[in-house]
Amino acid sequence: METQERATSTHILAIPFPLQGHMNPMVQLCNRLVPKGIHVTFVTTASICTSLQIQGGSNLMINVETVPDSAIDVVEDLDIYETFIRSFRAAISRGLPDIIMKKRNSSFPFKAVVYDSVIPWILDIVHENGLKGAVLFTQPCAVCSVFYHMHQGTLEIPPDEGSEISLPGMPVLRLKDLPSLVYDMSSYPTLLRLLVEQFSTFEKADWRLFNTFDRLEEEILKWMANKYPIRTIGPTVPSMYTDKRLLGNYDYGLSLFKPNTDSCMKWLDEKEDRSVIYVSFGSLADLADKQMKEVAWSLIDSKFSFLWVVRNTEESKLPKDFTSELHDNGLIVNWCSQLEVLSHRAVGCFLTHGGWNSTMEALSLGVPMVAMPLWVDQTTNAKLVADVWQIGVRVEADENGIVTREEIAARVKDVMQGERGLEIRRNAVKWKDMAIEAISEGGSSDKNFTEFAMELLST
């Protein structure tokens, strides 16, 4: 009875940063809160909301509120990051207090806000309005710790070309294993600032959640936990994909893209087990024309079947005669349900940019990776995948910064065939089991998550 009363009285706000890779873990976290009796209202701007495909909209425990904004588009063009970030901040800062106030005297006021770590300024608004704040980090703790050191001034930057970087709790890093924004500081100063500033209100947050799990990043998590109480709650991959017995209320989704799932699944159903390369560079990647062509011809040259997600904005970069070479061996789609694809028995490896969600999804589903990092955290994620967890390999670029078709095809073969491939597949199964253990009942992430939910219920 008591639990039921409490269950109907806790209502929280969730504020994801409006990029796909940030929305997914936030939505999945909230999907897990709902069965614990917590109602969730997502907040975004009106213009972002018009671009969203909302799945599971009949779920009465989750809904979306919007704040008015000036017309800003979904980010596809990196040049508009600065405008995008500023407009988002202005709109949320203006509108959030109103949303909180409207419910303040109702029987169902908001108690807390879960917000993305890259919008740390939310915490001041949250506290000024008498609520509690939980910050969600959507990159690995290893990457966050590099930005933490930058924030604290304990990492000399930019490091020298040939230097080896030793940070507490981390493997020794070469320059190009650091997040790209750190070794290439002039490339996207706005984004570098955004990531370093994640730590500006870190110590004031009421909860600090990380989308990772204890055994995955043991040393660095211990180091971080010695500084501040943190909670690992990952992987935030819906358990229906990792364990069919744990089916729950996990179907709510917010997507900036429309998937062609049916055609992918039908095509995959026709393929042999572990015979297909799944290729995706995520929601933001903007490959150079030449790089796109090298990827395209590497896939043909590799002789494996492949399913390649090429977003609309990237399509014009495909070689002219490429589609006529596909026959039934290759399928190009603009977007898919990646979790469904990665769960399919026909997928043998994932050629990925290595965004943290893609990495965690592949790891949780036991799919070996060929990491082709492009920027931000992907360079560090690739180091972890290839050298620390050994669940994939990393491609190397040539002296012009291009990853050649020969290099890609060779690394794909390393993973799909031979002794090395076998070893990588064994490791992938090992890490998949550890990920499932972490989120299953009584596992480290499950315990942390349950404690967090209980604390929200008693707030």
- Name the site residues for ligand UDP (rule: CB under 6 A): 20-21, 24, 280, 282-284, 309, 335-339, 355-358, 361
Cα end-to-end span (Å), the chain: 18
Catalytic: 116? yes
Q: How far is the CB of 20 from ligand UDP (least distance, A)?
A: 5
Rg (CA), the chain: 22
Residue closer to ligand UDP, measured from CB, 309 or 439? 309
Closer residue to ligand UDP (CB): 25 or 95: 25
Contact indicator for 94, 101 with CB cutoff of 8 Å:
no
| Nearest partner of 243 among 4, 438, 95, judged by Cα | 438
343 versus 390: smaller Cβ distance to ligand UDP:
343
Query: Which position among 11, 39, 69, 116 bears the catalytic label?
Result: 116
Q: Tell me the β-bridge partners of 215.
A: none
Shortest distance (Å) from residue 284 CB to ligand UDP:
5
Given 11, 22, 39, 344, the catalytic residue: 22
Question: Which of 10/379 has CB closer to ligand UDP?
Answer: 379
Residue closer to ligand UDP by CB (options 9, 337) is 337
Q: Which is nearer to ligand UDP, 256 or 457 (CB)?
A: 256
Q: What secondary structure does DSSP assign to 49-61, as a single string?
A: HHHPEEESTT-TT
Q: What CA–CA distance (Å, rounded) separates 179 from 260? A: 32
Residue 377 known to be catalytic? no
- Cβ–Cβ < 8 Å for 373, 176: no
**What residues form DSSP beta bridges with 40?**
12, 62
- Say if CB 165 and CB 159 are below 8 A apart: yes
Tell the smallest beta-carbon distance from residue 393 to ligand UDP (Å): 18
* Element containing residue 21 per DSSP (H, E): helix 20-33
Cis, peptide link before residue 235, omega less than 30° from 0: yes
Cα–Cα distances in Å, from 24 out to 173, 212, 235, 291? 29, 14, 11, 27
Q: How far is the CB of 416 from ligand UDP (least distance, A)?
A: 21
CA–CA distance, 225 with 317 (Å, rounded to integer): 45
Distance in Å, CB of 309 to ligand UDP, minimum: 4
**Least gap, CB of 422 to ligand UDP (angstroms):** 26
Measured CA angle at 424 (ends 422, 428), to 5 deg: 115
Residues with active-site annotation: 22, 116
